Structure formats: structure tokens, C-alpha cells
Amino acid sequence: MSDFRLLINGRFVQGAGTLDVINPATGRTLTAAPRADRAQLEQAVAAAKAAFPTWSATPLQHRAALLVKLAEALEAEQGEFARLLTQEQGKPLPQALWEIDWAIAALRYFATLDLPPKVLKEDATQKIVRQHKALGVVAAITPWNFPVILLIFKVAPALLAGNTVVAKPAPTTPLTTLKFGELCAGILPPGVVNVIVDQNDLGTALTSHPDVAKVAFTGSTATGKKVMASAAGSLKRLTLELGGNDAAIVLGDTDPKDVAPKIYAAAMANAGQVCIAIKRLYVHDSIYDAVCDELGRLARETVVGDGLEPGTQMGPIQNQAQFEKVKGFLEDARQNGKIVAGGGVLEREGYFVQPTIVRDIRDDGQLVREEQFGPVLPVLRYSDIDEVIDRANDTDFGLGGSVWSSDRDRAFGVAARINSGTVWVNKHLDLGPDIPYAGAKQSGIGTELGQEGLEEFTQATIINVANDA
Ligand code: NAD
């Protein structure tokens, strides 16, 4: 029996069924999680709908104060949350602590925001005011790579704006979301946040539900398309944060020894399971060999293991299905490129892949075209800047990207030509709760974070008053 419960209408309830949560560092069952059925999904949506009128009518400052309480409660249990996160997700404990830190910071950040009415125009004949209204029930659907921060990025702005929430984590990482539900139950009125768990079988029912006003979704592009289709029936508001295949371009004036560790960290963080990880690296011909050698050295030095073991720098792939996918990318790398370091899996229990650097690989190979979502980095050679920008942009994805150079102005000019939602110069993977974050092309629709991200959880209404009537 599991200690975890669904949260529906302020009450902890057993699931209609259960599902096994696997620790990816061992491949063995960690615990059972409650699994909701369709009736429990209906109860969760109904609870959120019933809670909405009262919650949306409370002053925003009151809702902000409750977000601060949630931040304090999370902070008080940071150690337990981080340990659970490592066990269900695989990331090393210091990185799990960092994820919880981030979640706390995001709760506190959103608590500082406001949605004041804005006078757009006022003269002798008219006064035009824009105000923001809560939408209703928000479905918050999250993936398994950052189960806590990606949940908070949705729940915090949704609640501040006056919406109520049904949260649904990925089936392989439901525990930290269920634990967050426990905090919510002690702080928020019943029904304001509900948590259900499925086995990838309730998504359509939730995203097509007539009583759900908005879907805030992070996951793969393939699933994002399904969400968009099923939300179309009632024209729901959507924020879709989807897959990426970020290119990093290293200009020839860069010092390989300086740049390689930064690039390596941005490619291999969370064992490469980051939507905005560097997934393709383009290096100028003049420093190509040196950068490949440095990256290879870093890969060989990385300590891979169970995230709970002190000293571990990289954990396992989060689940078996993704592990099998990454093995396919390794096979492609072996056939179409030259392995500089790594290239295999660890001969031990769990889903461990060696950090792998691949050079001299074809542009049309699977590892370059698709999102690997694992610690396998292709390094490609270029000599002409216009040509490499075309290669970087030759993808349906458009999430992030970066340019590396000792000449910041030149790098800025290149960055401006990359068709992605975020492009960094001399860094990568740098987000902040106050920096709007959005995907271009098939990497998403809408914006998360920042004031702009908050406003996506509202309906803007224009009130247009005749002053001369
Ligand atoms: P996924 O698309 O398989 O699952 C994401 C969530 O959607 C899970 O909760 C899943 O249960 C749910 N789901 C599955 N089928 C559904 C359906 N038909 N309708 C509604 N929901 C459904 O993604 P994943 O494998 O968990 O995560 C990895 C992907 O997420 C990668 O592509 C990664 O790039 C992307 N990602 C994007 C961002 C971003 O901010 N852009 C952040 C993290 C991860």
C-alpha cells in the first residue's frame, strides 16, 4: 500500500487503482501511486469548478499571501521533497534541491505580481479600460524531467490570477506532485487545487472537458498536437511548452578550454533530459578538434550513478521507454558518426547511459534531426557563418539556442538570426521566473513565466465607456 493519495475537493482519496512508480537508478518499484479513473477525474474537475467563484472573488493580495505560505511550506520540507524527487526522477540530490529552490523562488516571484486594470485611453469622449479576469478551471499537465518546477510554473500564476487547478503529473513521476497536493490541502480552500494521476489514459478526457477553461501543458510536441486537437472543441486557452532541438554555434574566436565546460554542462544537465538542453553543437572548423577533445575529456570524467550517492554528477534516464529511445540514438551515433567518449550504457541495474560525445556525424542523421532527450551530444563542423545559421534553423523545433564568441556584438548579430523563442549569448539554459519563456515553431504556443505568462491565465476584457453621453 502507498502513503500517497489523490487530492480531490480538499480530501485525500485513494485511487480507483494504483500504478507502480519505478526508481530509475535501480529499475525496481519505489512505491505504488494512486491512479484515478474517469469518475475521479470528473470529481476533480467538478470540485475545481465549484471552488472557482469564491476563489476568483478573493482579493489578489490574499491569493498572493497564500502563494507565499505555499513557498514557506515547501521550504520547510525541501529536504524531503528533494529526496523524493531524486528517487522518482533520478537527478542527483543537489540538483533536486536546486529544483525545489527554483520552485520556491517561482512561488515567491508570482506572489509579487499584480493584474491592475489599465486605462488605455481617456479623453473628453471616452474612457477605455483593460482588465484581467480569471478564466476558470485550469488543467496543469506536466512531464517527467522537472516534475516540480514545471508544476509550479503553472499552478502559481493560475492561482494568483484567480483560477482553480486540476494538476496531472506524468505517470512515471507522480509522487512529488502528490506531495505538493498535501501542502495545498493545508493552505488552500477545498477544490482550489486538485491532483489526479493517470497512466497516460486521462489526458484527452481532461483536455477536452467542457468545464476546463485552459490547458497549461508541458511535454512532447507529439502530445502537444493531440492536446491542441482535443481542446479545439471548446476553443480552450492553451499554453503549450513542447520539445526542442537547441543548436549551439561556437564561433572560431572562442577558447575551447573556456567554452567546453559550459557547453558540456548545458548539454548534459539532468542527463540531457532538459527541453532547452544543447542538443546539436556546431563548432567552427578552426577549433573543432580541440572542442571535441575537451568535451570528450569532460564526458570521461563525469561521475554517473544513483542520485542519492554523494558525488554523483549525472543520474539515470528517467524511465525505461526513454532509455530504449536513447539506446536507439547511440546506435545511430555509432553507425553515422565517430564516438569520442561514452557510446554505451552502464552494466548495472537502472537506466544509465554513459555521457556520449559524437563527432563527424551527418546532418541528416537521427541524432541531429530528432530530440535525443539523453546525454548524447552530436558535434558538427562548419566553416561559413551563413551556412551554419541555415543548418541551425533547418528544424521544426524553435525552443532555444546559443552563440558563443569572444566578440559579444558579433555573437548578438548571429543570435538575432536564430529562429527560436530564446537565444543566449555565451550561456545556455538560463531562465528566471521573471523572464518570459516561449517556444517558436513546433516548440510551443504561448508564453510561460513573467508578467506575460501570468496574463495568459486571464481573459483580457475591454470596458469602453462613453464620457460624453
Ligand atoms: P509527454 O508528451 O509524453 O507527456 C507529458 C504529459 O502529457 C504527461 O503528464 C502525460 O501523461 C500527458 N499526456 C500523455 N498523453 C496525453 C494526451 N493525449 N493528452 C493530454 N496529456 C497527455 O512528454 P514527456 O515524455 O513526459 O516529456 C518529455 C518531453 O517534454 C520532451 O519532448 C521535452 O522536450 C518536453 N519538455 C518541454 C519543456 C518546455 O518547456 N518546452 C519542458 C520540459 C519538457
Give the separation between CA 308 and CA 290, rounded to whole angstroms. 34
Task: Provide the grid cell at 249.
Answer: 554555434
Q: Reduced to 3 states, what is the DSSP secondary structure of residue 222?
A: helix
Amino acid at 212: V
Query: Is the pLDDT reported for residue 298 higher than 80?
Result: yes
Separation of alpha carbons 30 and 367, rounded Å: 32
Label residue 2 by pLDDT band (50, 70, 90).
low
Q: What string of DSSP letters covers 176-214?
A: HHHHHHHHHHHHSPTTSEEE---SS-SHHHHHT-TT--E
Task: Give the residue, by CA position, lying nearest to ligand 1 atom 16.
Answer: 203
- Ligand 1 centre to CA of 243 (Å) is 8
Candidate of 223, 370, 445, 456 to mutate for ligand 1, largest count of ligand atoms within 8 Å of Cβ: 223
The alpha carbon of 171 and the centre of ligand 1 are apart by a number of angstroms equal to 11
Q: Is the C-beta atom of 352 inside 6 A of ligand 1? A: no
Residue 184: active-site member: no
Give yes or no for a contact between 23 and 30, defined as CB atoms under 8 angstroms apart.
yes
pLDDT digits (tens, 9 = 90+) for 60-89: 999 999 999 999 999 999 999 999 999 999
Nearest ligand 1 atom to the CA of 200 is 11
Q: Is 98:146 a contact under the CB 8 Å cutoff?
A: no
d(CA 166, CA 168) in angstroms, rounded, equals 7
Q: What is the pLDDT of residue 1?
A: 47
Residue-wise pLDDT tens digits, 198-250: 999 999 999 999 999 999 999 999 999 999 999 999 999 999 999 999 999 99
Count of beta carbons in the 10 Å neighbourhood of residue 365: 18
Please count the other Cβ atoms lying within 10 Å of the Cβ belonging to residue 97: 18
User: Is 362 exposed, middle or buried, given 0-12, 13-18 or 19+ CB atoms closer than 10 A?
Assistant: middle
Set 99, 275, 448, 456: catalytic member? 275
Gap between the Cα atoms of 195 and 61, Å rounded: 24
Interval between CA 357 and ligand 1 midpoint (Å): 26
Three cell numbers written together for 151:
508544476
The pLDDT tens digits of the residues spanning 165-198 come to: 999 999 999 999 999 999 999 999 999 999 999 9
Q: How far apart are CA 345 and CA 337, in angstroms?
A: 18
Please compute the mean of the pLDDT values over residues 325-352 and round it to a whole number. Answer: 97
34: helix, strand or coil: strand
Amino acid identity of residue 108, one-letter, is R
Over residues 212-222, the pLDDT tens digits come to: 999 999 999 99
- Whether residue 41 is predicted with pLDDT greater than 80 in this model: the reply is yes
Beta bridge mates, 345: 353
CA 198 to ligand 1: nearest atom: 11
Q: Residue 468: pLDDT band by 50, 70, 90 thresholds?
A: confident
pLDDT at 469: 78
pLDDT confidence band for 347 (50 / 70 / 90): very high
Closest C-alpha to 269, from 298, 239, 240 = 298
Find, among 84, 69, 66, 104, the residue nearest to 4 by Cα.
84
By percentage, how much of the chain surpasses pLDDT 70?
A: 100
Determine the angle formed by the axes of helices 78-89 and 175-187, rounding to 10 degrees.
150
Using DSSP bridges, classify how beta strands 437-438 and 447-448 pair: parallel, antiparallel or unpaired: antiparallel
Question: How far is the C-alpha of 247 from the C-alpha of 274, rounded, in Å?
Answer: 13
Rounded CA separation 170/321 (Å): 13
Closest atom of ligand 1 to 204 CA is: 19
1 vs 459, which has greater pLDDT? 459
Greatest pairwise CA separation for the chain in angstroms: 81
Catalytic residue among 88, 99, 241, 448: 241
> What's the pLDDT tens digit per position in 255-277?
999 999 999 999 999 999 999 99
What is residue 9's DSSP assignment? T
Question: How far is ligand 1, taken at its centre, from the CA of residue 174, in Å?
Answer: 13
Helix-helix angle 175-187:60-76, to 10 degrees: 130
Nearest Cα to Cα of residue 223 among 238, 209, 245, 234:
238
pLDDT of 447 over the 60 cut: yes
